[in-house]
Amino acid sequence: MSRHPVALITGGTRGIGLGIARCLAQEGYALALNGVRLPEAVDDVLQELRETGATAEYFQADISQQDERARLVQAVRERFGRLNVLVNNAGVAPQVRADILEASEESFERLIRINLQAPYFLTQAVARWMIEQKQADANFPACIVFITSISATVASPNRGDYCISKAGLSMAAQLWAVRLAEFGIPVYEVRPGIIRTDMTAPVQERYDRLIAEGLTLQPRWGTPEDVGKAVAMLVRGDLPYSTGAVILVDGGLTVARL
């Protein structure tokens, strides 16, 4: 059982999820990191985090599957005995960027299942546990953060399935903020822009050019730590009267301009 506050981060061993994990480790959180890779593939990540003094454990589970979501929550409960923070970060890009005139239903179904259905129902399971903890101790600190994307509102017709999954996830964050308010559990959405990760590596040259041409007000790529710092602010309680808020981490990309 952990005496430290505990954070479950899906997709927490690389990319944005790892940036979040690093920042929450600095905040004193014990880390429950979820992913689909084999445990031996994340040994170096766990070692890095543990060298900072953090408790970090890996829980392999495909959260797009109902039974594996349940197994994940139970495993975290058995290992730590508590859960203060859920960060819904895991997500995938389309395997093929396809014009919406040609895109397949198989790709659409895959992205909705992984990017939207999985975090929606993982939140349901975690929220029930958090309510239980709150009822046992009214001062138990708990919150939930959804990592979405500027694609929730910025239309990309060559990856409509991704945009729709993120738009739905944005509404999921609003729904859970409404439902959990009575229990004192704030829910937030963090909406990253162009972040340098393995997911964006295939389109690096394109975005290098667009950023140079002024796509973002701040002329650089975002980093996973940029997102991690926003999540740390939220779980620390720095915005205590802002449940349901959307935090943009996009370098000003979505600011309307003439």
Sheet holding 143-147, edge to edge: 56-60, 30-35, 6-10, 85-88, 143-147, 187-192, 246-249
Backbone angles phi, psi at 110, to 5 degrees: -65, -45
- Residue 155: how many CB atoms within 10 A of its CB? 11
Q: Please tell me the distance from the alpha carbon of residue 10 to that of residue 36, in angstroms, as a whole number.
A: 10
Catalytic residues: 162
CA 256 to chain centre: 26
DSSP 137-200: -TT---EEEEE--GGGTS--TTSHHHHHHHHHHHHHHHHHHHHHGGGT--EEEEEE-SB-STTT
The neighbouring-strand residues paired with 151 are none
The kind and range of the H/E element at 56 are strand 56-60
Beta carbons of 195 and 147 less than 8 angstroms apart? no
In which residue are the tokens 């859970």 written?
176
Beta carbons of 219 and 236 less than 8 angstroms apart? no
